[in-house]
Structure 1
Amino acid sequence: MSGLPHSKVTSEQILATVLKILDDNKAEDVVQIDLRGKTSVCDHMVICSGRSSRQVVSIADKLAEDLKHELGVLSKSEGQETGDWVLIDTGDVVVHVFRPEVREFYQLEKMWMPIGKTATNAV
């Protein structure tokens, strides 16, 4: 396995790599939310959309594969069975890949953003 040992990879390095991979794989409406100091679950949350269930699963699979090869970061994922919403957990960065209508229904950005603020569009 190439890349740095996970213990030596920072959350900022993981985030930057995640954003690049999502851009390369045509993820849409990519939003990053800085959660440092707000929760112990993770440092960053990234939310994006794929146009179809097939693209959602493809983006998630490619993300997990590329993180492993580029940084040596292993991730866990859930939701590939239906492709409506896939969660990829790297430990420091959690990524949600949605079909647009499922994303609209759950509105995670609104749940995690402070009142009166908007999420940072990453791309």
Structure 2
Amino acid sequence: MNSNDLMEKCLLACDDKRAEDIVAIDMEGISDITDYFIVCHGNSDKQVQAIARNVKDEAEINDVNVKRLEGFNEARWVLVDLGDVVVHVFHREERDYYNLERLYKDAPLITLNEVMS
């Protein structure tokens, strides 16, 4: 599975658990570590965990190795590292604080609407 297909599957997995403000940041040419960051948030610890779990499950269904899953128990910022795609699932307050979109403001953003159309 190529990184673009994986990114789209991860966006849809986040949406399936009603994540909010889901965006993908195109990291090609910016980072040697990954092709895409996906950023979204949930409004409770349980929702953050459900989103992260759904991304992990979707990856495993598609034979994608989950390299790392960090922050799951605390559910404030869960990182799901799939290699070519890294998914950041924040609790609302932490997303506002860390604001990864601002950090990579020069990188192209891909929205869920773009993927669904």
User: So what's the TM-score if we normalise by structure 1?
Assistant: 0.85
1:78 corresponds in structure 2 to 70
- Aligned equivalents of 1:25, 1:58: Cα separation in 2: 7
What's the Cα RMSD here? 1.4
1:99 corresponds in structure 2 to 91
- Aligned equivalents of 1:13, 1:119: Cα separation in 2: 16
Unpaired runs of 5+ residues, structure 2, are: none
Letter in structure 2 aligned against 1:90: L
Q: Secondary structure at the match of 2:72?
A: coil
Larger radius of gyration: 1
Letter in structure 2 aligned against 1:27: A
CA contact (8 A) 2:12 2:112 kept: no
1:122 corresponds in structure 2 to 112
Equivalent pairs, count: 112
Q: Secondary structure at the match of 1:83?
A: coil
Displacement of 1:122 in angstroms is: 2.4
- Percent of aligned pairs sharing the same letter: 35
CA contact (8 A) 2:25 2:36 kept: yes
Deviations 1:14-41 (A, max 9, x none): 0111111111111111011101011101
1:21 is aligned, of 13, 22, 28, to 13
Flag as ranges the 4+ runs of structure 1 deviating above 2 A. 117-123
Q: Secondary structure at the match of 2:40?
A: strand
- Aligned equivalents of 1:61, 1:23: Cα separation in 2: 13
Matched, 1:68 2:60: yes
- Aligned equivalents of 2:5, 2:109: Cα separation in 1: 20
